[in-house]
Structure formats: C-alpha cells, structure tokens
C-alpha cells in the first residue's frame, strides 16, 4: 500500500460523512455530464472515492467501472451500491496503471478531484485519451492551486512525511487547459464556479 492509499483509507469514513460544499454546483456538474450519457454508455471513473458520482450516473448508462486506490473507499462504495440496489456499477481497487484495462475503450472517462493528486497529471490525461473511443468525453473536476496557494507546498511536504496529507500538485487552470489540448482533446465545456478552486472541464476526443 502506498502512502496516499493509506491516507485515504484512514480518512474514508470521515470523507463519506462530509456534506457537499456546494450542492447546487455539484448538481449542475451532474446535469452537464448526464447530457452526454446514453443507455449504451460505458464509463470508467478513476478516483471514485465512496462512489457517490458513479451511483448518481448509473441509471443513465449501460455500465460504470469505478476505481480507487483506497480499499476502504471501495468498501464503502460497494455498501452504498448494495443499499441502493444498483447493479450496473463495478467498484474495484486500482489506479491508472491497471493492466486489465489494456485494449479497452470507453464512451466516457471521469476523474474528479484526482488530477491534482497525481505526481504526473499529464500521464492521467494521456491515459484518459487512450481509453476513450473517438468522440468520447473526458469529464474532470480539478483543483487548480497555483499562485499564492503555492505557499502551502513546504507545509504539505512536511505533512506527507507523517502521512497526514496526500501528494498535491500545483498548476493553473490555464496550464490544465493547455495540457488537455496538447494531449489531443477538444475542450467542450470549462466552468469554474464562483468562489471555487476546482474547474469542471468536459473535453472530447476527436
């Protein structure tokens, strides 16, 4: 188990119990995503956490494969799916390097609150591009922590030594948009809710 998986395992129950910071913004993101889904859509989500978003979208898809590096997060997600009677979401422990995904393609790839937690966000974007069918969509919500937020880096580095915080990457919204275009995506929607650090982006693979 890596340090980040251990952190998320320790915080999974607290994470699951936290209320949404902005319910209206979250619902708008769900609506924009659902507009792209069909009953035949095959979706994969990386960093699914306790499965909330995957379970919201399940009725509008054929199947969702939702993964997370935290065993505890996946355990909670599976319990929620069972309680809600949802059977077309498969929750698995895993990350971007899952060899079982080789050769598979999906209609949508989701990465919410994940790219800024990767040591190589560009690799995450490239993985999404590889896994998508032509015409498929990459949907992400990503904290862009550039500018004065960089002052937190030394404190986060210390926190990581004690397993108190996960790895966090610092980049701007402009940098993220450019990285998506460089990877071959067309940006369809780019929305930063007022007062938020996380930008919601829908990008299409031509």
Cβ-proximal residues to 198 (8 Å cutoff; 6+ apart), any chain: 113, 141, 142, 143, 144, 192
More confident residue, 151 or 188: 188
| Domain residue spans of the chain | 3-204
CATH 2.30.30.140 assigned to domain 3-204? The reply is: no
* pLDDT confidence band for 150 (50 / 70 / 90): low
pLDDT at residue 167 in the model? 85
Q: Average pLDDT, stretch 150-160?
A: 55
Write out pLDDT tens, residues 1-40: 456 899 999 999 999 999 988 999 999 999 999 999 999 9
pLDDT at residue 179 in the model? 98
pLDDT at residue 1 in the model? 44
What CA–CA distance (Å, rounded) separates 77 from 91?
Answer: 7
pLDDT at residue 80 in the model? 98
Helix (H) or strand (E) segment spanning residue 57:
helix 52-57
């Amino acid at each position: 188990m890596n340090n980040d998986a251990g952190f998320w395992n320790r915080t999974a129950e607290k994470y699951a119990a936290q209320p949404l910071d902005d319910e209206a913004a979250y619902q708008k993101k769900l609506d924009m995503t659902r507009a792209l889904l069909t009953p035949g859509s095959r979706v994969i989500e990386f960093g699914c956490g306790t499965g909330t978003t995957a379970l919201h979208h399940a009725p509008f898809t054929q199947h969702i494969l939702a993964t997370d590096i935290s065993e505890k997060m996946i355990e909670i997600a599976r319990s929620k799916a069972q309680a809600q009677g949802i059977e077309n979401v498969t929750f698995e422990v895993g990350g971007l390097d899952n060899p079982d995904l080789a050769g598979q393609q999906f209609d949508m790839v989701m990465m919410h609150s994940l790219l800024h937690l990767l040591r190589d966000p560009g690799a995450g974007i490239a993985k999404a591009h590889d896994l998508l069918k032509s015409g498929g969509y990459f949907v992400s919500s990503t904290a862009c922590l550039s500018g004065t937020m960089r002052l937190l880096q030394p404190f986060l580095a210390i926190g990581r030594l004690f397993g108190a915080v996960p790895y966090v990457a610092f980049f701007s919204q402009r940098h993220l948009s450019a990285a998506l275009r460089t990877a071959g995506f067309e940006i369809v929607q780019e929305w930063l809710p007022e007062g938020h650090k996380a930008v919601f982006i829908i990008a299409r693979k031509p």
